[in-house]
Amino acid sequence: MFFKDVVGQEEIKNRLRNSVKEQRVSHAQLFSENEGYGALALAIAYAAYINCPNRTEEDACGVCPSCVKFKKYMHPDLYFVYPTVKAEDKRISKDYFKDWLALLEESDCYCNLADWVEKLNTNNKQTMIYVEEADHILKTMNYKSYESEYKIVIIWLVEKMQHQAAPKLLKILEEPPEKTLFLLITQSQEEILSTIKSRTQGFRLPPIDMESLTADIKSNFGDLPNDKIARIVNLSEGSRSKAYKLIEYDEEEKDYFNMFVKWMRICYLADFQKAITLSEDFSKMGREQQKDFFSYALQLLHFFVQFHSQGASSVKTEEEELSFIEKFSSYIHLQNVAIYAEAFEEAIFHLERNANSTILFTDISAKIMAWIHKEKRGK
């Protein structure tokens, strides 16, 4: 993974390159992002650039022994730390490196915790960066680098660090061994201890620009029609991983659309018995599918906002979806769309915490029935 492989993020790439050229590389840096913006890819590319002896103005050379090892994510002076689950013979990141390597290769380094949990097949065990990991970092960083100027530790999802491990990480951030670089990555900055934030140089990644994301999709999915690519980029909200999942789940999205329309019709008719039946169907879906359904519902809400504020021509979606939005626009509009969005976002939040999906879906159905009834009375 090199800078040329990172989609977009040109401004931050320039800042990172300049820090190396000007010899002002901070020993601890925090990359904060929303899922799919490219923080992990960027951190690896930065690490490769720092340790490449033949780097150019723009990138690592890509062919020297160091770059060849970085390309395979197996450089001896590159250490990965990530959430794990405790097992009899596995406790820290290096014990799961084979799975981690497979995830990086499959995702091109654009991944999230759900992808990692699925790879680990944790059986609902909690994933964390445990205190044993911090002990291992302290021990490892006291060794000399094998062949490069810097030893580099990439801590992915530092917000998952166990409370007991944080003081040990703080100690090494305050008194780092010479020529040691820590690159911390978070997808939930508000969960990180302020003491860790204060000891790092921060980079907040913006959404990937539409032009770069479009070019990336075209290079990897050249057979997709341009209008479909444009729709996917519009829905992705600057997230490469989200864009790729939209491509992967295109047929599944049609099922989500049909289910959403059926759901809204049931709520419009205030048929609570059918809502209960539909909630039972919803409960049979996998947890990730349930979350994806509500994510799709949030995308539809975005289209409702566009429809009401900018007109039908601004809504870049399928004709069938646009037709539904036009017909249902009297019931979801700018004055009430926020309460729908809040309900769907809360649903995702509670599903991530293993809420009872049948009860959750039934409860939201009852709320939507009340909201639609209110709109009917107002006419």
Same domain, 163 and 264: no
Residue 70: give the domain boundaries. 3-206
Of 175, 206, 199, 158, residue with least CA distance to 8? 206
What is the model's pTM?
A: 0.71
10 Å Cβ neighbour count for 28? 20
Pick the last residue of a domain from 206, 233, 262: 206
Same domain, 31 and 175: yes
Same domain, 195 and 307: no
Same domain, 201 and 336: no
Lowest-pLDDT range of 88-97, 331-340, 354-363: 88-97
Q: Report if residue 85 sits inside a domain.
A: yes
Q: Is the dihedral of CA 137, 138, 143, 144 positive or negative?
A: positive
Same domain, 185 and 253: no
Same domain, 186 and 284: no
Same domain, 202 and 258: no
Higher pLDDT, 335 or 194: 335
Pick the last residue of a domain from 149, 182, 206: 206
| pLDDT value of position 251 | 56
**What is the C-alpha end-to-end distance of the chain, expressed in Å?**
58
CATH classification of the domain holding 277: 1.20.272
Q: What angle do CA 361, 364, 366 make, to 5 degrees?
A: 110
10 Å Cβ neighbour count for 200? 20
Of 211, 286, 208, residue with least CA distance to 242? 208
Of 259, 334, 267, 328, residue with least CA distance to 297? 259
Lowest-pLDDT range of 63-72, 206-215, 232-241: 232-241
Q: How many domains does the chain have?
A: 2
**Radius of gyration of the CA atoms of the chain, in A:** 23
Q: Quote the tokens at residue 195.
A: 């003491």
Asked whether residue 299 carries a pLDDT value surpassing 70, the answer given is yes
Q: Report if residue 312 sits inside a domain.
A: yes
Q: Report if residue 278 sits inside a domain.
A: yes
| pLDDT value of position 54 | 94
Q: Report if residue 118 sits inside a domain.
A: yes
Same domain, 177 and 285: no
List pLDDT tens digits, range 52-61. 999 999 999 9
| pLDDT value of position 135 | 85
CATH classification of the domain holding 90: 3.40.50.300
Asked whether residue 151 carries a pLDDT value surpassing 60, the answer given is yes
Asked whether residue 89 carries a pLDDT value surpassing 80, the answer given is no
Express as a percent the part of the chain with pLDDT over 70.
97
Residue-averaged pLDDT of the chain: 89
Asked whether residue 91 carries a pLDDT value surpassing 80, the answer given is no
Asked whether residue 46 carries a pLDDT value surpassing 90, the answer given is yes
What element of type H or E holds 220? helix 210-220
Same domain, 130 and 60: yes
Q: Report if residue 164 sits inside a domain.
A: yes
Asked whether residue 331 carries a pLDDT value surpassing 90, the answer given is yes
List pLDDT tens digits, range 177-213. 888 899 999 988 888 888 888 888 989 999 999 999 9
Q: Report if residue 221 sits inside a domain.
A: no
Q: How far apart are CA 322 and CA 246, in angstroms?
A: 18
Q: Quote the tokens at residue 128.
A: 């964390």
Pick the last residue of a domain from 206, 236, 268: 206
Q: Is the dihedral of CA 104, 108, 110, 111 positive or negative?
A: negative
- 8-state DSSP, 193: -
Same domain, 33 and 108: yes
Distance of CA 218 to CAs 36, 41, 163, 206, 221, Å? 17, 19, 43, 21, 5
Q: Report if residue 198 sits inside a domain.
A: yes
Amino acid present at 197: K
| pLDDT value of position 340 | 96
Same domain, 195 and 274: no
| 3-state SS assignment for residue 377 | helix
Q: How far apart are CA 327 and CA 55, in angstroms?
A: 58
Same domain, 60 and 160: yes
Q: Report if residue 143 sits inside a domain.
A: yes
